[in-house]
């Protein structure tokens, strides 16, 4: 058996939270105990925390190296595709959607080389982050993808609060902030059905800066970007808890998404209320004050004594970004 296959098979066996003896691994895989021992040592050298020696082996839940086997065992989703590195998980899920994969297929990665942000921007996606995309097949019109994005923002804010015990705020539409820094971005991409005018499918992508990147954030975002943990990479346990909490919250909202069940929790976490902002419209920069969030998650601003609803785009906080 090829060395890399032995390693993958060993990971599958030892990621379930129980110690598995070297003898059992050897007989299951049809290799010698020495081959098992060598493969375990090679995995350790790659950064996997594998406990045990005499009694057997177990992949520690405090392991800091994410892997497919542990992700499949720990994440409560039926259909998970895990990639150590990918271009963009949103692009991966689009391909899966076109191939007919079912709703709630989840693609998760530790690093993206072509991470996509909103408004055609790049989303910086180095190691230490959590990048995932979910396939949705909602029965909604094109305009209502704002409902998905805002439900996802509340779900991720709640997941972050539950796992890190830090208060998370939402900057309309879909950025999550902790202590004044953006720690998470969300990008929902819809593919439309020309005949019905509705969504054929949607891809919901979430990127979280879990740990501060080894070399810091690039200069263009170093003043605005932050991470959930400032120190070294946290254990995989935490990454999976974030995904599980997110899925639990999001699934509950999604059942009745048309009714916007998340809107009051979205409002509670809004970062922008009362703030002076600027935004671009018709080639002009507008200055306004934020009044609140409307029932369809539109941002209500006051400009020259008039209330204006904004349902797309982006605002900047004056003297802030």
Binding site for ligand BTN (CB under 6 A): 88-90, 112, 115-118, 121, 123, 131-133, 175, 185-187, 205-207
Nearest to 224 by CA among 117, 112, 108, 133: 117
**Distance of closest approach, residue 117 Cβ to ligand BTN, in angstroms:** 3
CB nearer ligand BTN, residue 45 or residue 99: 99
**Distance of closest approach, residue 118 Cβ to ligand BTN, in angstroms:** 4
Name 67's Cβ contacts closer than 8 Å, sequence gap at least 6: 11, 15, 48, 59, 82, 84, 236
3-state secondary structure the chain: CCHHHHHHHHHHHHCCCCCECHHHHHHHHCCCHHHHHHHHHHHHHCCCCEECCCCCEEECCCCCCCCHHHHHHHCCCCCEEEECCECCHHHHHHHHHHCCCCCCCEEEECCECCCECHHHCECCCCCCCEEEEEEECCCCEHHHHHHHHHHHHHHHHHHHHHHHCCCCEEECCCEEEECCEEEEEEEEEEEECCCCCEEEEEEEEEEECCECCCCCCCHHHCCCECCCECCCCCCHHHHHHHHHHHHHHHHHHHHCHHHCCCHHHHHHCECCCCCEEEEEECCEEEEEEEEEECCCCCEEEEECCEEEEECCCCEEECCCC
**Distance of closest approach, residue 283 Cβ to ligand BTN, in angstroms:** 22
CB nearer ligand BTN, residue 188 or residue 236: 188
CB nearer ligand BTN, residue 25 or residue 153: 153
- Closest residue to bound ligand BTN by CB: 185
**Distance of closest approach, residue 170 Cβ to ligand BTN, in angstroms:** 12
CB nearer ligand BTN, residue 25 or residue 176: 176
**Distance of closest approach, residue 171 Cβ to ligand BTN, in angstroms:** 10
CB nearer ligand BTN, residue 112 or residue 145: 112
**Distance of closest approach, residue 223 Cβ to ligand BTN, in angstroms:** 15
**Distance of closest approach, residue 122 Cβ to ligand BTN, in angstroms:** 9
CB nearer ligand BTN, residue 8 or residue 189: 189
Strand partners for 279 = 286, 315
CB nearer ligand BTN, residue 11 or residue 110: 110
CB nearer ligand BTN, residue 58 or residue 206: 206
Name 86's Cβ contacts closer than 8 Å, sequence gap at least 6: 92, 107, 109, 111, 112, 113, 131
**Distance of closest approach, residue 136 Cβ to ligand BTN, in angstroms:** 13
């Amino acid at each position: 058996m090829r060395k890399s296959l032995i390693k993958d098979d060993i990971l599958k066996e030892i990621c379930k939270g129980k110690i598995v003896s070297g003898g059992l691994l050897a007989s299951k895989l049809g290799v010698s105990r020495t081959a098992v021992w060598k493969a375990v040592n090679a995995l350790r050298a790659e950064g996997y925390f594998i406990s045990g020696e005499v009694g057997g082996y177990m992949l520690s839940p405090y392991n800091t190296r994410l892997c497919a086997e542990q992700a499949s065992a720990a994440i409560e989703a039926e259909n998970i595709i895990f990639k150590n590195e990918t271009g963009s998980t949103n692009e991966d899920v689009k391909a899966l959607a076109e191939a007919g994969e079912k709703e709630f297929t989840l693609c998760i990665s530790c690093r993206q080389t072509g991470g996509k942000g909103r408004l055609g921007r790049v989303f910086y996606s180095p190691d230490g982050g959590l990048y995932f995309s979910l396939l949705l097949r909602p029965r909604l019109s094109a305009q209502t993808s704002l409902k998905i994005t805002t439900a996802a923002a509340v779900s991720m804010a709640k997941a972050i609060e539950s796992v890190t015990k830090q208060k998370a705020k939402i900057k309309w539409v879909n950025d999550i902030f902790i202590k004044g820094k953006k720690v998470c971005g969300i990008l929902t991409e819809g593919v439309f059905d020309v005949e019905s005018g509705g969504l054929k499918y949607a891809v919901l992508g979430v990127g979280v800066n879990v740990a501060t990147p080894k070399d810091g954030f690039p200069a263009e975002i170093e003043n605005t970007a932050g991470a959930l943990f400032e120190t070294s990479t946290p254990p995989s346990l935490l990454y999976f808890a974030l995904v599980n909490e997110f899925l639990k919250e999001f699934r509950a909202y999604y059942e009745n998404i048309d009714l916007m069940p998340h809107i009051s929790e979205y409002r509670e976490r809004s970062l922008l209320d009362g703030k002076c902002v600027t935004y671009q419209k018709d080639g002009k920069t507008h200055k306004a004050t934020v009044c609140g969030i409307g029932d369809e998650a539109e941002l209500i601003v006051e400009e020259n004594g008039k209330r204006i609803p904004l349902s797309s785009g982006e605002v900047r906080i004056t003297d802030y970004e």
